[in-house]
Amino acid sequence: VLVGKGLCFDTGGISLKPAKDMEWMKYDMSGAGGVMGALEAIARMELPVNVTALVGSTTNMPSGEAVKPGDVVRASNGKTIEIINTDAEGRLVLADLLVYAKRLEPAAVLDAATLTGAIVIALGHRAIGLFGPDAELVDEVRRASERCGERGWPLPVWEDYREQIQ
């Protein structure tokens, strides 16, 4: 299953991002764009694979009905999530997509998303961060990314980070 976050425009919601460079927030859909591009490439190359693509698309804009800090929302698996910063909406979109993907019982799930500027601080603009519990799959993705010029670098998901990840 290929999963892509598609925030077509992300102002940050009520937790508004700074106005400088706001026009670049249209790229918060890059994960979804990558998944759609991958699906097109798979189809054009007529690869003998069974693949499902899931894309979660929306916008994150302030309005009278916008989610507010302190609100509690219910994910599709029934878990509740307290909103602290409305600019973390991408995690909510991905959470529901990943819950749905799990129901499909796939051999593997690859998700693509622009989730945090901290990755840019860690790796710069020349590489993507790779995360995952399956080290073999992460390394396979890393090697494939090297071959096509889209470098990726594995980042740790140690048990020490579990609380922060949740």
Residue with tokens 């799990």: 102
Whether the model pTM is above 0.85: yes
Q: How confident is the model at residue 53 (pLDDT cuts 50, 70, 90)?
A: very high
CB 68 within 8 A of CB 14: yes
Tens of pLDDT, residue by residue over 14-26, are 999 889 888 888 8
Task: Compute the average pLDDT of residues 121-145.
Answer: 91
Checking if the pLDDT of 158 tops 80, the result is yes
Active-site residue set: 17, 91
The predicted pLDDT at position 49 comes to: 95
Task: Break the chain down into helix, strand, coil percent, rounded to 5.
Answer: 40, 20, 40
Q: Kindly report the average pLDDT of the chain as a whole number.
A: 91
The predicted pLDDT at position 156 comes to: 87
d(CA 47, CA 39): 10
DSSP assigned state of 10: E
Checking if the pLDDT of 88 tops 90, the result is no
Tens of pLDDT, residue by residue over 73-84, are 999 999 999 999
CB 61 within 8 A of CB 17: no
53 Ramachandran zone, left/alpha/beta (phi>0; psi -120 to 50): beta
